[in-house]
A and B are shown apart, each in its own frame.
Chain A
Amino acid sequence: MDKIEKHQQQPGFFKEVVRRSGVNIGLCWHCKCCSAGCPFAEAMDYLPNQALRMVQLDLKEEILKSSCIWICVGCHTCSVECPQAIDMSAVMDTLRQMAMEEGFPLGQPNILNFHKEVVNSIYRHGRTHKLEIMMRYKLGRREFFSDMDVGISMLSKRKLDLMPSRVEQPAEIRKLFTEDMEDVP
């Protein structure tokens, strides 16, 4: 991003991200240790510190549409490097959830679909069932044949259980999905 126009800035966005993530993003002075250490920086459209800069500048739409907030897996490598102890993973979680709420076109919709399949699996079984997650994710993408070799190797080594491992009290887990408990900040 070379030049920022006034109309791109959405006042209040920075404060909202700070409030929801509980992370004072204003502390970032852009030493770029996070971006230098990030194992997936080369696959991102914006580097981790650039993402923080965009939040600092209230560039809401640009950052919420980006792919970097979805490529970040929350490995915390950046937080270990950060001299200001910024919890990048918490910021990225907040940005992903805001992107979903705002309804902007997502930078990596497939990654969201994967997360949804994992969460659905937890809803059904209380635990994740890898084979089911993979099948549903691949079917959703109509990618019937990608990774067939990996899937077959894993099945032949009995690394993908056909039946899920389940909790005995699934109702206790499902209730977490439907309740609207007042959230503690």
Chain B
Amino acid sequence: MNTSQSFDISYFPGCSMATTALENNRSLHTFCGQHNIKLVELPDWNCCGSSSAHSINHHLAKWLPTRNLSLAPPGRPLMAACPSCYLRLKLTHMELSQNSAFREQYERKWGRSFDPDLRIIPFFELLSDMADAGYFSDQKGRLKGLKVVPYYGCMLSRPPVMRHEKNFHGLMEKMLSIMGAEVLHWNHSARCCGTYLSVTRADIATRSVAKILDGAEAARAECIVTACAMCHMNLEIRSKLPGKTPIFHFSELLSLSMGIGSGMGWFRRHLTDPRPLLRARRLIA
């Protein structure tokens, strides 16, 4: 990876990024574009199956991700923006690599050969590679003074078969520090947001989200930053509206650190308006 070189990455947005979290999607494209990294949307991608398919239908959970893998062009990594989509794609690729009978079915089914070398990466892996390659050496510390707690939710927790894959504990803390923000310690960075319990058992999700938000307040954070669009939505909709603590997508703070954010229309899509805080910190006009 070379900081001056431009390159293409296949991009799997997933259902949340394509709709509910459009501001996350757009700021991610903006951030990558600023660094000459082009996110090329995977042609005709389909839903990875999400929690629901693997909860109730083994066959769908197994096969929905395979079509996406078969559509990925060779020679460039496939990046998933959503941590949960990443898990589904990666686990399926691992299973295909290890199981020749599954591989044969896959090739018969999609009429395309299996690419054992396809690299499937979460956004955090790209970011970590960029940091290692010196991409952020010219950071101006624009987020100076912003008191923030990073929220990972369940994205760092993975099933045992993935124990030896790379992990990214502390990457948000590292990046936020580089960007000049004041990263605060707290106890809830890895507490699951509840995903669909927010719909099916709002009582449980509300209790859980309240603990997370109270934790951020106790740490005297001005804002929370999330790495997953689903977490972002749950923290917003299951807080008391209008909420007190703004919640950012990580991609928004990454873009703000490059001086981009004003007039992009990202922040007015938030249920808890982050603009007063950003204006106070002179991050937007």
Residues of chain A whose beta carbon lies under 8 Å from any beta carbon of chain B = 39-40, 43, 71, 73-77, 79-80, 82, 85-87, 89-90, 93, 96-97, 100, 108, 110-112, 114-116, 118-119, 122, 126-130, 134, 137, 146-147, 149-150, 153-154, 157-161, 165, 167-169, 172-173, 176-177, 181, 183-184
> CA A36 – CA B268 in complex, angstroms?
39
- Please, which residue of chain A has its CB at the minimum distance from the CB of B49? A122
B175 interface residue per 8 A CB criterion: no
Known: A73-B196, A130-B20, A154-B237. A87 touches B154 (CB 8 A): no
> CA A44 – CA B204 in complex, angstroms?
10
B177 interface residue per 8 A CB criterion: no
> CA A171 – CA B157 in complex, angstroms?
34
> CA A88 – CA B101 in complex, angstroms?
26
Q: A183: which B residues are within 8 A, CB to CB? A: 58-59, 62
- Please, which residue of chain B has its CB at the minimum distance from the CB of A164? B19
> CA A182 – CA B49 in complex, angstroms?
20
Q: Is the interface of B mostly helix, strand, loop or mixed?
A: helix
Interface locus among B114-122, B187-195, B216-224: B187-195
Q: Mark B99-113, 1 if CB is under 8 A from A, else 0.
A: 101100100010000
- Please, which residue of chain A has its CB at the minimum distance from the CB of B269? A157
CB proximity of A86 to chain B, nearest CB, Å: 7
CB proximity of B152 to chain A, nearest CB, Å: 11
Q: A114: which B residues are within 8 A, CB to CB? A: 52, 196, 199-200
B20: contacting residue among A127, A137, A160, A172, CB under 8 A: A160
Known: A40-B204, A176-B64. A181 touches B59 (CB 8 A): yes
CB proximity of B156 to chain A, nearest CB, Å: 8
Structural contact, B55 and A93, CB atoms closer than 8 A: yes
A157: contacting residue among B56, B159, B200, B270, CB under 8 A: B270
Structural contact, A149 and B241, CB atoms closer than 8 A: yes
Most buried by A among B55, B64, B191, B196: B55
> CA A100 – CA B233 in complex, angstroms?
30
Q: A126: which B residues are within 8 A, CB to CB? A: 46-47
B202 interface residue per 8 A CB criterion: yes
Structural contact, B270 and A153, CB atoms closer than 8 A: no
> CA A43 – CA B199 in complex, angstroms?
15
> CA A137 – CA B199 in complex, angstroms?
9
CB proximity of A176 to chain B, nearest CB, Å: 5
Known: A43-B201, A97-B56, A122-B49. A130 touches B19 (CB 8 A): yes
Residues of chain B whose beta carbon lies under 8 Å from any beta carbon of chain A = 15, 18-22, 44-47, 49-64, 67, 99, 101-102, 105, 109, 153-154, 156-161, 163, 190-192, 194-197, 199-202, 204, 208, 233, 237, 241, 268-271
Supplied contacts A126-B47, A157-B269, A159-B269, 11 more A-B pairs, CB within 8 Å: A39-B208, A43-B204, A71-B197, A73-B192, A77-B154, A79-B158, A154-B237, A154-B271, A173-B67, A181-B105, A181-B109
Q: A159: which B residues are within 8 A, CB to CB? A: 19-22, 233, 269
A-B contact pairs, 7 of them (CB 8 A): A39-B192, A74-B54, A85-B163, A115-B56, A129-B19, A130-B19, A181-B109
Most buried by B among A74, A86, A116, A147: A74
A90: contacting residue among B63, B159, B163, B202, CB under 8 A: B159
Known: A73-B51, A79-B157, A97-B58. A165 touches B19 (CB 8 A): yes
Q: B191: which A residues are within 8 A, CB to CB? A: 39
Structural contact, B54 and A93, CB atoms closer than 8 A: yes
Structural contact, A85 and B160, CB atoms closer than 8 A: yes
- Please, which residue of chain B has its CB at the minimum distance from the CB of A160? B20
A111: contacting residue among B47, B153, B200, CB under 8 A: B200
> CA A127 – CA B14 in complex, angstroms?
8
Structural contact, B18 and A165, CB atoms closer than 8 A: yes
Known: A76-B154, A77-B190, A79-B160. A167 touches B44 (CB 8 A): yes
CB proximity of A138 to chain B, nearest CB, Å: 9
CB proximity of A17 to chain B, nearest CB, Å: 13
Q: A100: which B residues are within 8 A, CB to CB? A: 56
CB proximity of B237 to chain A, nearest CB, Å: 5
CB proximity of B168 to chain A, nearest CB, Å: 14
Structural contact, B18 and A118, CB atoms closer than 8 A: no
> CA A172 – CA B69 in complex, angstroms?
14
